[in-house]
Structure 1
Amino acid sequence: MGIFKENPFGHILFLKKWLIRFMGVITHQRYKGFNTLEIEGSDVIRNLPENNVLFVSNHQTYFADVVAMFHVFNASLSGRDDSIKNVGYLWNPKLNVYYVAAAETMKKSLLTKIFAYAGSISVERTWRSEGKDVHRQVKMSDISNIGKALNDGWVITFPQGTTTPWKPLRKGTAHIIKKYKPLVVPVVIDGFRRSFDKKGLRIKKKGILQHMNIKEPLDIDYENESFEAIIEKLEYAIEQHPSFLKVISKQDLLAYEEENKLRKWKKEKKAKKAKKSKKA
């Protein structure tokens, strides 16, 4: 590989490789040390084609979910069975792995820009911007970029577009599936919300058993299935269909409620502080 060789988005692969190695080493203990990541489906990863694969997952934090998937994908491809023991798998990482993320999130800081270089396909959300509800058209360039990434390799997407559980899936994912006809691999994660803060950067609690289940690719009739049918199939596959609310654990529900209370308290505290500053 030439030192200045680029991927389709103009990112230098040599830099991306070292970035993945570095970030992988410093994050490894978050899943194999401070906490324990239980994995199912390494054999599924090893049997996937080189490109046009779309991973569809539920979402619990901004970044910890994706970082864990980078670990699991590379460990699986290096021959490890449902394990990320020993970070040697990071020496030769798969470089054509991408993930869909909100553009405003990826521009917020130097750290998020570094994360973006590792493989972000930054898109503008059509329903939410800067904490406010909006209604705007999908940018065709965003759809095109996802297609470009699928043509080059693997893409991770979180079709709910939020870390809040049980929210409906966005229909844009079904449009992408029908348009580009990727192999769709469902991923179900758990324990990340209890382990990390909402951004997935700070360890909130240690000793948590995290879980990642990589399921077999879905059987989809790209030509004849409706958008609604595909969305429902995805909801069941990533265990976010409303029917799963009947079996949500009390522990998960209480943890989510506590997180919301803390977030509300912080927001009110910030508002009071801003109000005092204005008076001063």
Structure 2
Amino acid sequence: MGLFKQNPFGHYLFLKKWLIRIMGSLTHRRYRGFNQLQIIGSEIIKDLPDTKVLFVSNHQTYFADVVAMYHVFNASLKGRNDNIKNIGYLWNPKMNIYYVAAKETMKGGLLPKILAYAGSVSIDRTWRAEGKQVNRQVKMSDITNIGKALNDGWVITFPQGTTTPWKPIRKGTAHIIKKYKPIVIPIVIDGFRRSFDKKGINIKKRGILQSMHIKEPLEFDYENDTVNVIVEKLQYAIEQHPSFLKVLTKKQLEEEELLNEKRRYSAKD
């Protein structure tokens, strides 16, 4: 790799590689140490093409979710199925992994700016800004930048656009799928909200069982599926469709989460 080689967004790959190595080393124990990350389905990762892959996931923290995915993806590409043992997988990380994040979030301090350099495709929220509800048009430059990232590699996105569960899928993700026709891999995560603060930087509780389930690619008729059809498929795939709440009420689910936490801590005592 040339010292001054850049990706399509003007980031120097040599610097990006060292940021991933350093940040990966600093965060590894958050998923294999203080807490334990249970991974299902990571064998899917190593068989994916090098570009035009879109990962869609539910969202629980600003940063811890995507950092965990960097670990899991790189470990899988180095032959580690469903585990992130031996951090050597980050010595030569996959350099063309990107993630979609709110521009406002990525400007909030030095650490977010470092994480942004490691792979953020920053966009303007159309529904919220500076803690207030807004209603503005999607910027075409944001759509173009996500397409640029897809053409260069893999993109992680959280189509609900919020860490609050059960919120609707934003239609922008469906438009991106119709326009760029990527392979779409759903991911369902859990335990991150209990492990970390909302930003995913500070450890809130230790000994939490985290989970990441990587599913088979979704099937779309890119030409004929409507935006609403795609949105519904995404909702089911990342287990955020309202029908999932019909099994247990939201209050019952919250009570079940509290009970699970007590069980985990009791088991350690």
When normalised by structure 1's length, the TM-score is 0.89
Name the structure 2 match of 1:217.
Answer: 217
Q: Which amino acid aligns with 2:157?
A: T
Equivalent pair of 1:166/1:240 in contact (CA under 8 Å): yes
Equivalent pair of 1:64/1:200 in contact (CA under 8 Å): yes
Name the structure 1 match of 2:197.
Answer: 197
Name the structure 2 match of 1:253.
Answer: 254
Give 1:246 deviation, angstroms: 2.8
Partner Cα separation in structure 2 for residue 129 and residue 110 of structure 1:
20
Q: Which amino acid aligns with 1:43?
A: E
Task: State whether structure 2 residue 124 is matched by structure 1 residue 144.
Answer: no
Task: State whether structure 2 residue 122 is matched by structure 1 residue 128.
Answer: no
Change (3 A) 1:173 1:256: farther
Q: Which amino acid aligns with 2:23?
A: M
Which runs of no fewer than 5 residues in structure 2 stay unpaired?
259-269
Aligned ranges for residues 71-86 of structure 1 at < 5 Å?
A: 71-86=71-86
Partner Cα separation in structure 2 for residue 108 and residue 41 of structure 1:
34
Aligned ranges for residues 72-111 of structure 1 at < 5 Å?
A: 72-111=72-111
Give 1:247 deviation, angstroms: 3.8
Cα deviations across residues 235-266 of structure 1 (Å, max 9, x unaligned)? Answer: 00000000111345878514989xxxxxxxxx
SS at match of 2:55: strand
The 4+ residue runs of structure 1 with deviation greater than 6 A are none
| CA RMSD in angstroms, aligned pairs only | 1.4
Name the structure 2 match of 1:43.
Answer: 43
SS at match of 1:213: strand
Name the structure 1 match of 2:267.
Answer: none
Equivalent pair of 1:194/1:255 in contact (CA under 8 Å): no
Aligned ranges for residues 230-241 of structure 1 at < 5 Å?
A: 230-241=230-241
SS at match of 1:38: strand
SS at match of 2:169: coil
Which runs of no fewer than 5 residues in structure 1 stay unpaired?
258-280
Name the structure 1 match of 2:158.
Answer: 158
Cα deviations across residues 174-226 of structure 1 (Å, max 9, x unaligned)? Answer: 00000000000000000000000000001000000000000000011000001
When normalised by structure 2's length, the TM-score is 0.93
Partner Cα separation in structure 1 for residue 257 and residue 130 of structure 2:
22
Name the structure 2 match of 1:171.
Answer: 171
Equivalent pair of 1:61/1:163 in contact (CA under 8 Å): yes
Partner Cα separation in structure 2 for residue 30 and residue 92 of structure 1:
21
Give 1:41 deviation, angstroms: 1.2
Change (3 A) 1:255 1:106: farther
Question: Looking at CA atoms only, which structure, 1 or 2, has the larger radius of gyration?
Answer: 1
Name the structure 2 match of 1:263.
Answer: none
Q: Which amino acid aligns with 1:142?
A: D
